[in-house]
Structure 1
Amino acid sequence: MSLVLEFCAKPMSKVDGKAIGIDVGLNHFAITSNGSKYNHPRHVAKHEGNLKRKQQNLSRKQKGSQNRIKAKQKLAKVHSKITRCREDFLHELSSKIVNENQVIAVENINVKGMVGNHNLAKAISDVGWGMFTTMLKYKAEWEGKTSVEVDRFFVSSKTCHGCLNRVDSLPLDIRQWTCQYCGSHHDRDINAAKCIKNEALRILSLGTSDTACGGNVRQPGKTSVLLDAVPVESGSPIFANGRVG
């Protein structure tokens, strides 16, 4: 009698190859460092009318009656459909990103804290950011690829990914801006995704989970540690006048 065992070893993570940074938002669900923008499907909004009718119908039924039980089941089916649609979208997008890249960088978002904003709670709960980042992480690990979470306090939107100059203020209604130091014109979200990618590469190059949130990048007037992740050519404006933007 012979016994044959087959072991499926988990592939080792690799950091060489194509890297991508991902910024998430409410106007677009995800924005990548290569310039791609993925629209938010707005699953709840699409079924909002049906949800309202089912909820109103449920509220009219007498408590404990069979009709109320049936109305509750119909409402549950609508919620279940929304959940399935959201999961299908997140699975499709996360698989696409992991399949096309070797290093995936995302921001560590405090979803629970953001839901505390009553004006945005409904929209934030609908997008599924937490589920999306979880999918990216376990799919990357399964494929032997690398997933990096950049600290939520890392200043990505207000930092120029080219010269690393940081603006003091950038209101949410400003979606495009021009760096006063190097003159580069940025799409706010794409620039943020590029900064997230650069910060992830910096973390990997140093072999540490520490992020720039506790370093000089958050302290005005000091050199940004993002320089470790950005290749600098001779004569670059980054070092013009002996200073960093």
Structure 2
Amino acid sequence: MAKAGIPQKSTKRKKAKAAVPLRQRLTERARWIAKWSVRGLLALCGVVVLMTLLYRFVPVPATPYILAERFRHGSLEKDWVPAEQIAPVMLRAAVAAEDANFCAHWGFDMKAIRAVIDSGQSRGASSISQQVAKNVYLWQGRSWPRKALEALLTPVVEAAWPKRRILEVYLNVAEFDRGVFGVEAAAQSYFGISAADLSPRQAALLAAILPDPKNRSAAQPSAFVSSRAEAIADGAATILADGRAACFEQG
């Protein structure tokens, strides 16, 4: 009797399920997927916020790109140093090279963005804050999904970190040569000195290779890199004199 009853109940369940319209079942499934997608997105946002708050105080251990390069090369040169152990001229050189209005904006240099749009160019307006958001959390390459995520993450970084910390992280996770990450490893690799001892010329050379570190050298600079370094050195002196370095000069 018991065995005979099992197929009957199973059959009833199947009939009941079949009685539910297909459209209703699809709607319920779509709602379930949407609900858990939203929960997953909120959980991911929470993780990013917590990481950003944590990274205000502790060194960033790695980034997606650093991990990828470590897998590719097997080992890397990477040394984290606080801003206090980086020559002040290196901080100014990086800002002069990449984001002269770093102290004046909240993550997006709208003047630079408008200038790029007006000129018809497709690159060159990313602020240091945007680059930090990309380097710490995202992948390399140019795509609209990545740019959209970068635009969402940049205000989070700006809200959670002071300008000096943003610049400190930027210089510690930036690639300066194949397998060489961070300004301390770069100073040691190119000049055999610590980041604290960089001269204005050396700092300008390191800043000059940042946009294309795998094809530019600070130790054997091309004519272009050398000329760019001279302009960066002048720019670093200018932002010190006119006060545009004030937001990151003091700890």
Q: Do the structures match in fold with TM over 0.5?
A: no
Structure holding more strand per residue: 1
Give me the TM-score of the superposition, normalised by structure 2.
0.29
Structure holding more helix per residue: 2
Structure 1 or 2, whichever has the larger Rg, is 2
